[in-house]
A and B are shown apart, each in its own frame.
Chain A
Amino acid sequence: MYDFNSYTEAHSIDEAVRALGGNPNARVIAGGTDVLIKLRSRDEAFVGRDLEGITRIPGLAGVSVDTQGDITIGAATSFSQIENDETITRCLASLGTAAGSIGGPQIRNVGTIGGNLANGATSADTAAVLLTYNASLVIHDSSGSHEMPACEFHTGPGKVRLEQGQLLTAVKIARADYEGYRGSYIKFAVRQAMDIATLGCAVLVKMDGNVIEDLRIAFGVAGPTPLRAAAAERFAKGKVPSGKILEQLGRICLEDTKARDSWRAAKAFREQLITVLPQRAISQALGGDGNA
């Protein structure tokens, strides 16, 4: 009972971009785990559209490493692929964790990282993690392609910087943004599976001996978009990650977050999670059990 006007499949990025640019009624569909749900619930922004399938475009799925050691993840790469990919496991372990936390196996087999980002949800598990890796996003349109930092992509709930005719084709992570770092991701949800994050917390830490050389913290659901906790990151640099320092750091995270009350969770509870989860994520990244 899906109310769409047509479905076509693109065989190349150019073909997809042409189809999207030439038809204001066209919409991208990849794995469909968001689009079909919105169609089923008869979301006006999705009903009656011409759906452009992109998952079978050659080269749009998969993980590759170039000679510089920079990593490219195709936008149509499924969560299962990411979760089980050798490069991801070795270099971007927290991204694998985030991908593995989404839905159940069936969803992870079809849902894609590109869709997770382009859907624009603040709760997208991979989005917060990608912020910690300073990922950049490759976007194609009729005039070619350009890159955009992942932190500029989300503009509001369900909103991203993609114009009609533009297609997110890949996520890139530079070697300097993962080498020597250890990351972790904690998805806080009521259930252990098949759930949406009440709060997501990704950290990426680089140590210099026993001192934090660099720390990146990103949250999902701590504001209208995934966001970084810049003040806490600045505070952490050069410090020994003792329990006391981590506690302080957790509280400083609140300077950058904008949690609110909703029927899903109270603001006070989200803010408690904002102060607690980074401490645990950092301990986990550094090899502890995560219970700070």
Chain B
Amino acid sequence: MKNKVIGDSVPRWDARAKVCGRADYTADIPVKNALHGKIVRAGIAHGRVLCLDIEDALRVPGVVKILTPADLPKTKFATAGHPYSLEPGGDVYDKNILTDYVRLYGDEIAAVIAETPLAAAVAAEKVVARYEELPFYLTTEEAMADGAVELHEGVKNNILADTTASVGDVEQGFAQADHIFESEYQTQIVQHCHMENQAAVAYQDADGRWTCISSTQIPHICRRILGEALEMPWSKFRVIKPFIGGGFGNKQDVIIEPLVVAMSMAVGGRAVRLELEGEEVLAYTRVRHAIRYRSKVGVTKDGRITAWQMDAVSKTGAYASHGHSIAAKGAGILSTLYEIPNMIYRSRTVLTNTGNAGAMRGYGVPQITFAIEAMTEKICSALNMDSFEFRLKNFKKEGAPHPLNGIPMATNKVADCLTQGKAAFGWDGKMAAALGDKGGIIRRGLGVAAFSYATAVYPYSLEIAGCRLTMNQDGTVKMMVGATEIGQGSDTGLIQIAAETLGVPAEMVYAEAVTDTDIAPFDTGCYASRQIYVTGMAVAKAAQELKDKICRAAEQFYKISSQVLDIEDAYIINTTTGDRVASLGDLALYTYYDKARARTLTAEVSNNCHNNSYPMGVTFAEVEVDTQTGVVTLLSMLNAHDSGVIINPLLAEGQVEGGMGMGVGFALGEDLFYDTKTGAPLNNNLLDYKIPTAMDVPELGVLFVQPVDPYGPFGAKGLGEPPLCSPAAAIRNAVCQALGFEIDSLPLTPGKVFAAIAAHRSGGEANV
């Protein structure tokens, strides 16, 4: 790049503040006279609240008020952080702020407001609920069974949606096949485990409107949902997002904000804070969908896929949240990873009395990638075909249109990721070692898995982003975006896009930690790996507009045609002579203070993106399996990514390593489970819910293949979610290679692997 800002590992602008504790998160922000809230949670998994006795709770010293469903609007709202849709058939409006119909253990049935957090907690324990209990369903099979009670009125068999996407004719495809393979795969419930729990504080502001400071990925969407939940004009709410300690999609749902604002309303506008405990976050916010896949695949004897039939049953838990979009997304993933002439993909999203599934980093793709790539290895092994050869033969080709929406995959370097990654990982050497190690107690194995992803949500949903740039008095630039920095580093990447376009060093562009819906340009927020891609387009356009304005102003003040002016290293350059005309600082003084001609320079762009680009990638994993104890030790792992041009290599590597670490947890340890007798979550704490520690993750390899994507800003595609898409599948394939047989569900905990080995040895099918 001309100005050498793109592609440079510019330090994150907020790094020092975060390390030194100067960065203020929601709970750090001082608010006058704040009261404290605590949610009263249901002690059953399904049923009606017949009565709530709050008398004892009200007598706890310090208790100010206790809210019950009767105190709140009856209108239901949708919690998903999707852009508002003017067309029918969008999100499912199925949630009340508090409920008298319990759909999961821990559902929100009342809320205490008190002078101290302790008083609120003590009072919450003293609220007594009497229930009419109903049968509860922890599995999709039970929930879909005839006669099962509907969790939400009118949702027949608890199936929220049942859709089919298809290409070609699968029956014809199976007829053309030499071999047919069938298998079933199952993923588990996992959770985001962001470091900062959900926290919000709300109060009535000087102008009578309601301010809600919240750890949200979607401030502008949150404002709209507050309006819907509280039945008031949307502008009556102002949402402020300070620094965020991670979200991974869990904060792409509006979970606590309507309650926090309602609590403040109930106490005359006095500030009320609500901070969830870690146990509440794990079990009662959002989780990843557990999905069961059935695949039937037809393949020719030379290893070409002729047909792929897939059936997905996705557990969404007690409420719709993101509805059917996660299960349905799988069709596009399957059909953009491999060239499948005949495909049919059916997906059902099913309500159960378990943790409410919503958005989580990868949005269904880690699950389906596990199912696709496990099946791929099954085929390779049955055909005795090399894992690489089969994939290279079947990968979707660059330039081909998306089979379902027609958008061409302008860049697609998945094949390069596979071949370059294989070499960088040292696959052949490691494989030789693994194959020579099959007799002992400890066995090695290697696995590979590829994925396809889509940046942003076009054409299924609105893709809008905004940026406002203002040149300061000294020639530096203030950047305001509606995009949401949640720890991923997008602000720093956006600074780089602005700086590269403007021709200034990155440190001359100031980002804003706070996204405030009253001040920041409109942007739907942080999800779909869209910030660098979609917001980056808005930033690049705004920067170009500001640059043009700067050059025209310079023409006015320095009498040189703007046609020959450019900006380099914060100086206005005469491109014909190569001379520096003036520094941006000198020009800025004129634009602010020249009595006759001063006019401050700003540029504001709202960009409606009508493209999509496809990040692709491959994971390589090497494991050791202890066949006596079932312990899987990850020895090495490498992710090769095509995310287009990498804006900031160091930040990008951080994203990839973090995603790979989450993938290790998904593969080997994490599983939120429930007491079958009560429906209560059993392990919603970080002792019993096994996210990996630094000791459990080996040195990770990261490789970028960098085509210049024609749509993305400076050729970039999304990278936020892709790193988590394929590690679990690759680790699973490595474990199966080590063992010499298949395990078709996650996670591969020691207990499960041991049971599978025991079952395999006794000649039976592994029932796992």
Binding site for B on A (CB under 8 A): 1, 3, 41-42, 104, 188, 190-196, 198, 263-266, 268-269, 272-273, 276, 291-292
Stretch among B385-393, B484-492, B556-564, B691-699 lining the A interface: B691-699
Contact yes or no, A191 B690, CB < 8 A: yes
Contact yes or no, A273 B629, CB < 8 A: yes
Contact yes or no, B629 A272, CB < 8 A: yes
Report the Cα distance A3→B121, complex, angstroms: 10
The reply on B749 being an interface residue by CB < 8 A is yes
Complex contacts, B749 vs chain A, CB 8 Å: 190
Complex contacts, B628 vs chain A, CB 8 Å: 272, 276
- Knowing A191-B693, A192-B693, A192-B696 are in contact, say whether A269-B122 is a contact too (CB < 8 A): no
The reply on B663 being an interface residue by CB < 8 A is no
A106 smallest CB distance to B (angstroms): 13
The reply on B441 being an interface residue by CB < 8 A is yes
Complex contacts, B736 vs chain A, CB 8 Å: none
Question: Other CB < 8 Å A-B pairs besides A268-B758, A291-B441, 6 of them?
Answer: A42-B121, A42-B125, A193-B696, A265-B751, A272-B628, A276-B628
Q: Which are the 10 A-B pairs with shortest beta-carbon distances?
A: A192-B695, A193-B695, A269-B751, A193-B693, A190-B690, A276-B628, A1-B117, A1-B118, A192-B696, A263-B682
Complex contacts, A265 vs chain B, CB 8 Å: 751
Complex contacts, B118 vs chain A, CB 8 Å: 1, 3
Contact yes or no, A266 B695, CB < 8 A: no
Contact yes or no, A268 B755, CB < 8 A: yes
Contact of A1 among B121, B279, B683 (CB under 8 A): B121
The reply on B688 being an interface residue by CB < 8 A is yes
Contact yes or no, A188 B629, CB < 8 A: yes
A192 smallest CB distance to B (angstroms): 4
Q: Which of A190, A276, A291 has the most CB of B within 10 A?
A: A190
Report the Cα distance A266→B756, complex, angstroms: 13
Q: Which of A191, A193, A263, A291 has the most CB of B within 10 A?
A: A191
Report the Cα distance A42→B695, complex, angstroms: 31
Q: List 6 A-B contacts (CB under 8 A).
A: A3-B118, A42-B121, A264-B688, A266-B755, A272-B754, A276-B629
The reply on B630 being an interface residue by CB < 8 A is yes
The reply on B86 being an interface residue by CB < 8 A is no
Complex contacts, A41 vs chain B, CB 8 Å: 279
Report the Cα distance A194→B690, complex, angstroms: 10
Contact yes or no, A269 B755, CB < 8 A: yes
Closest to A265 in B: B751
Report the Cα distance A273→B753, complex, angstroms: 13
Complex contacts, B121 vs chain A, CB 8 Å: 1, 3, 42
B34 smallest CB distance to A (angstroms): 15
Report the Cα distance A80→B630, complex, angstroms: 30
A45 smallest CB distance to B (angstroms): 15
Closest to B118 in A: A1
A73 smallest CB distance to B (angstroms): 26
B676 smallest CB distance to A (angstroms): 10
The reply on B669 being an interface residue by CB < 8 A is yes
B631 smallest CB distance to A (angstroms): 8
The reply on B666 being an interface residue by CB < 8 A is no
The 8 A CB mask of B682-709 against A (1 = contact, 0 = none) is: 1100111010111110000000000000
- Knowing A263-B673, A273-B629 are in contact, say whether A191-B696 is a contact too (CB < 8 A): yes
Complex contacts, A291 vs chain B, CB 8 Å: 441-442
Complex contacts, A196 vs chain B, CB 8 Å: 687-688
Report the Cα distance A266→B630, complex, angstroms: 13
The reply on B341 being an interface residue by CB < 8 A is no
Q: Which of B723-768 contact A (CB under 8 A)?
A: 749-751, 754-755, 758
A272 smallest CB distance to B (angstroms): 6
Q: Which of B122, B279, B683, B750 has the most CB of A within 10 A?
A: B750
- Knowing A263-B682, A266-B751, A266-B755 are in contact, say whether A195-B441 is a contact too (CB < 8 A): no
Complex contacts, A292 vs chain B, CB 8 Å: 441
Report the Cα distance A102→B442, complex, angstroms: 26
Complex contacts, A1 vs chain B, CB 8 Å: 117-118, 121
B369 smallest CB distance to A (angstroms): 23
Q: Which of B266-316 contact A (CB under 8 A)?
A: 279
Report the Cα distance A116→B518, complex, angstroms: 53
Contact yes or no, A190 B750, CB < 8 A: yes
Complex contacts, B696 vs chain A, CB 8 Å: 191-193
Complex contacts, B117 vs chain A, CB 8 Å: 1
Q: Which of B645-702 contact A (CB under 8 A)?
A: 669, 673, 675, 682-683, 686-688, 690, 692-696
Q: Which of A104, A194, A196 has the most CB of B within 10 A?
A: A194
Closest to B754 in A: A269
Contact yes or no, A3 B122, CB < 8 A: yes
B40 smallest CB distance to A (angstroms): 14
Contact yes or no, A269 B441, CB < 8 A: no
Complex contacts, B442 vs chain A, CB 8 Å: 291
Complex contacts, B686 vs chain A, CB 8 Å: 194
Contact yes or no, A191 B695, CB < 8 A: yes
Closest to A41 in B: B279
Closest to A192 in B: B695
Report the Cα distance A291→B754, complex, angstroms: 16
Report the Cα distance A269→B125, complex, angstroms: 37
- Knowing A1-B121, A292-B441 are in contact, say whether A195-B690 is a contact too (CB < 8 A): yes
A148 smallest CB distance to B (angstroms): 30
Report the Cα distance A264→B687, complex, angstroms: 11
A280 smallest CB distance to B (angstroms): 9
A259 smallest CB distance to B (angstroms): 12
B120 smallest CB distance to A (angstroms): 9
Closest to A262 in B: B682
The 8 A CB mask of B104-128 against A (1 = contact, 0 = none) is: 0000000000000110011001000
Report the Cα distance A268→B690, complex, angstroms: 21
A36 smallest CB distance to B (angstroms): 14
Report the Cα distance A41→B690, complex, angstroms: 19
Closest to A275 in B: B628
Complex contacts, A188 vs chain B, CB 8 Å: 629, 750
Complex contacts, A195 vs chain B, CB 8 Å: 687, 690
A133 smallest CB distance to B (angstroms): 26
B439 smallest CB distance to A (angstroms): 13
Complex contacts, A263 vs chain B, CB 8 Å: 673, 675, 682-683
Closest to B686 in A: A194
The 8 A CB mask of B420-431 against A (1 = contact, 0 = none) is: 000000000000
B748 smallest CB distance to A (angstroms): 11
Contact yes or no, B750 A198, CB < 8 A: yes
Complex contacts, B751 vs chain A, CB 8 Å: 198, 265-266, 269
Q: Which of B531-566 contact A (CB under 8 A)?
A: none
Report the Cα distance A292→B675, complex, angstroms: 37
Report the Cα distance A273→B754, complex, angstroms: 10
Complex contacts, B669 vs chain A, CB 8 Å: 190-191
Q: Which of B621-651 contact A (CB under 8 A)?
A: 628-630
Complex contacts, A268 vs chain B, CB 8 Å: 755, 758
Closest to B693 in A: A193
Report the Cα distance A276→B626, complex, angstroms: 11
- Knowing A42-B121, A191-B669 are in contact, say whether A269-B630 is a contact too (CB < 8 A): yes
Closest to B116 in A: A1
Complex contacts, B673 vs chain A, CB 8 Å: 263
Closest to A270 in B: B751
Closest to A2 in B: B118
Complex contacts, A269 vs chain B, CB 8 Å: 630, 750-751, 754-755
Complex contacts, A194 vs chain B, CB 8 Å: 686-687, 693
Closest to A273 in B: B629
Contact yes or no, B755 A191, CB < 8 A: no
Report the Cα distance A257→B624, complex, angstroms: 29
Report the Cα distance A276→B754, complex, angstroms: 12
Closest to A292 in B: B441
B79 smallest CB distance to A (angstroms): 27
B589 smallest CB distance to A (angstroms): 53
Report the Cα distance A276→B692, complex, angstroms: 24
A81 smallest CB distance to B (angstroms): 22
A109 smallest CB distance to B (angstroms): 17
Report the Cα distance A266→B669, complex, angstroms: 16
